[in-house]
Chains A and B, each alone.
Chain A
Amino acid sequence: MSEYEGKVRMVFKDLPLPIHALARPAHEAARCAGAQGRYWDYHARLFAEQPRFEREDLVRYAVDLGIDRDRFVACLDGRHFAAAVQADVEQARALGITSTPTFLINGRVLIGAHPVENFRIVIGDALRRLQGP
């Protein structure tokens, strides 16, 4: 959606689902990668490799990206970002969000994986609303 370049900011919020036993460590691992400046690369790797999220997998993904292994492992095993991930979970709960993915586009909700065209409609509407009458 290059037509929206400069007009859209994207924020990712962690919502590991309880039915996915290995999900929470994966979310924490992504933040550990982010602590070394590689969040989005690691994020993409996790989606590509799902559901292979055993500890050795998570470490391997970091090493493959050139992330400092010792720092990453200390972060992951020390659960440095456990509270931050839990904060996202609680914020989702406060909003009544239980499904993934759920998108809030200037407050409007899209639940589930929608075609790109649906996003264009909602984003376009949001931009028009901001322009006013």
Chain B
Amino acid sequence: MNIPITFYSYFKDLTGTNDIAIDLPEGSSIAELMDQIYSKFPKLKSMDRSTLIAVGVEYQDRAYALQPGDEVSLFPPVQGG
């Protein structure tokens, strides 16, 4: 399945792009997706502990099993207000 990933805030600077797409076997976890992302963008790995992950409009943890059609967002801690 093809999973689109959108980066926000300075994650765009760390990766040099606003978004990418990664092919994964159906049912792959977010943890497995993150491994693929970090192999492409090693600079992002330094932010791993503080990285927030969303699928669609909801936060998800790394055990979440991705499904076709899921859209992932990765971003640093939020700063509203």
Q: Do A and B come from one complex?
A: no
Which residues of B approach A to under 8 Å, CB–CB? none
Which residues of A approach B to under 8 Å, CB–CB? none
